Amino acid sequence: MSSSETRAVSTAPQRQSIDSIRRKRNLIILSITLLLLAVGFTLMYFLVWQHNEETDDAYVNGYLVQITPQISGTVQAVAVEDTQSVKAGQMLVKLDDTDMKLAYERAQNELINTIRQNQQQHASRDQTQAQVTSQQAQLARLQADLRRREQLAGAISAEELSHARAAVAEAKAALLAAQSQQRSAEAVLGRNVPLREQPAVLTAVSHVKNAWLNLRRTHIAAPMAGQVAKRNVQLGQEVAVGTPLMVVVPLEKVWVDANFKEGQLVDMRVGQPALITADIYGSKVKYQGTVVGFSAGTGSAFSLLPAQNATGNWIKVVQRVPVRIELNAKDLAAHPLRVGLSMNVAVDTRDKNGQTMQPAAVLPEGEALPDVDWSPVEQVIDNIFTEYTH
């Protein structure tokens, strides 16, 4: 055997021993790695994952504010287009206001005539009062004259006494007629009722306000800030009360409706935090959210054709309940969303101190449009009273 063959035979067991040690070391490293991964997954499950309820059946929702006219008319101008942003109070559509202006002028003239008629009625009542006073004085004079003649019954003729009695009777009848006219005037005007509280005047004032309100309604304004969508109105179109003209969507007030399976709601509470991502931005953009409420029923319960389960071929289907998630305003401002976008929601259910699906004990205050500012027409009415009562 040569020397080279002898060295090869002697080094073979050493290589086998080194390979065996390497395999054992790799197996140990692999086992430790798998063990660490298992421990990590176990810790993640008990610390995080078991408290998370996730769903990708979630969508952005928001208010769709229908813009409809409150009066009928012809569209004279349309000030906005689809996708444009509008401010609260900004004019959207203008209706032809010719007829409304004429009605407003007629209502003002009606108020002026009513004031004048009321003044005439006051003058007539004062005249009637004067007539009553005059008739009372006349009756008292004639009654005194009759008493004197009755005391002189033997000294005067019977005819003269009869004339005196007839004059008293006529005076009484005239007084009754004057008193009747006085009561009639007081029935119309009332006793010590101010001019602006007279029924006829109040009716005329209400007609002025109604005509002014109809004239104001020819300018259809945005009830809140948002983005215009679904514009259906065109110039020259004849629209009736309630005709849908367009929709204004306030995109800064959107929320997420996450449809969780019924088994996922066991530990879910109002007030729990949620981590949300949008398909439009990807997983790098995350929204902070809060559970604010649960729907009153499942999605199928409010569908157009609800499922009829009382049949012989019934198959159980896991139901989903919409859960409303409120978005953080800063996150929403930094990355705006549109109604209907797909979202992924994960709710952290560790905090179970909030309310369950029971309704809230305190009802929150809803949103409301501002009241009508009547000051412009009130000023017009005041000017009319000032001009025609002095």
CATH number where 338 lies: 2.40.30.170
Q: Read off the pTM.
A: 0.72
Tell me which of 30 and 161 has the higher pLDDT: 30
Amino acid letter for position 144: A
Radius of gyration of the chain (CA): 45
Rounded (10°) angle between helices 199-216 and 375-388: 140
88 is a domain residue: no
146 is a domain residue: yes
Residue 2 has pLDDT above 80, yes or no: no
> Do both 118 and 200 map to the same domain?
yes
Distances (CA, A) of 356 to 293, 305, 319, 348, 349: 9, 28, 18, 14, 12
User: What pLDDT, on a 0 to 100 scale, did the predictor assign at position 124?
Assistant: 76
Residue 44's pLDDT band (cuts 50, 70, 90)? low
> Do both 123 and 199 map to the same domain?
yes
User: What pLDDT, on a 0 to 100 scale, did the predictor assign at position 251?
Assistant: 93
| Beta bridge partners of residue 282, listed in sequence order | 278
> Do both 208 and 108 map to the same domain?
yes
> Do both 211 and 257 map to the same domain?
no
> Do both 200 and 139 map to the same domain?
yes
Handedness of CA 121, 124, 126, 131 (dihedral sign): negative
User: What pLDDT, on a 0 to 100 scale, did the predictor assign at position 17?
Assistant: 74
Distances (CA, A) of 386 to 35, 219, 286, 379: 94, 30, 64, 10
The whole-angstrom separation of Cα 247 and Cα 338 is 14
**In this structure, what token pair is assigned to residue 170?**
């006529």
User: What pLDDT, on a 0 to 100 scale, did the predictor assign at position 355?
Assistant: 72
243 is a domain residue: no
Give the residue from 182, 203, 201 showing the smallest Cα distance to 118: 201
> Do both 187 and 119 map to the same domain?
yes
Q: How many domains does the chain have?
A: 2
> Do both 195 and 123 map to the same domain?
yes
Helices (H) and strands (E) counted in the chain, each on its own, are 6, 14
Give percent of the chain above pLDDT 70.
86
Tell me which of 144 and 63 has the higher pLDDT: 63
Tell me which of 302 and 89 has the higher pLDDT: 89
Q: What average pLDDT is seen over the chain? A: 84
Q: Which of 215, 243, 272 is the last residue of a domain?
A: 215
Output phi, psi for 260, to 5 deg: -90, 150
204 is a domain residue: yes
The whole-angstrom separation of Cα 125 and Cα 42 is 99
Residue 74's pLDDT band (cuts 50, 70, 90)? very high
The whole-angstrom separation of Cα 365 and Cα 369 is 13
> Do both 204 and 258 map to the same domain?
no
Expressed as residue numbers, the domain containing 336 is: 253-307+315-348
User: What pLDDT, on a 0 to 100 scale, did the predictor assign at position 118?
Assistant: 85
Tell me which of 185 and 352 has the higher pLDDT: 352
Neighbours of 236 (CB within 10 A): 8
pLDDT digit string (tens) for 202-246? 999 999 999 999 999 999 999 999 999 999 999 999 999 999 999
177 is a domain residue: yes
> Do both 104 and 208 map to the same domain?
yes
- In angstroms, how far is the first alpha carbon of the chain from the final one? 146
Q: Which of 215, 238, 272 is the last residue of a domain?
A: 215
**In this structure, what token pair is assigned to residue 368?**
């409301």
Neighbours of 122 (CB within 10 A): 15
pLDDT digit string (tens) for 329-373? 999 999 999 999 999 999 998 888 877 765 555 555 667 778 889
143 is a domain residue: yes
Q: Which of 185, 215, 245 is the last residue of a domain?
A: 215
Q: Quote helix, strand, coil % in the chain, to nearest 5.
A: 45, 20, 30
157 is a domain residue: yes
74 is a domain residue: no
> Do both 209 and 276 map to the same domain?
no
> Do both 195 and 288 map to the same domain?
no
> Do both 146 and 200 map to the same domain?
yes
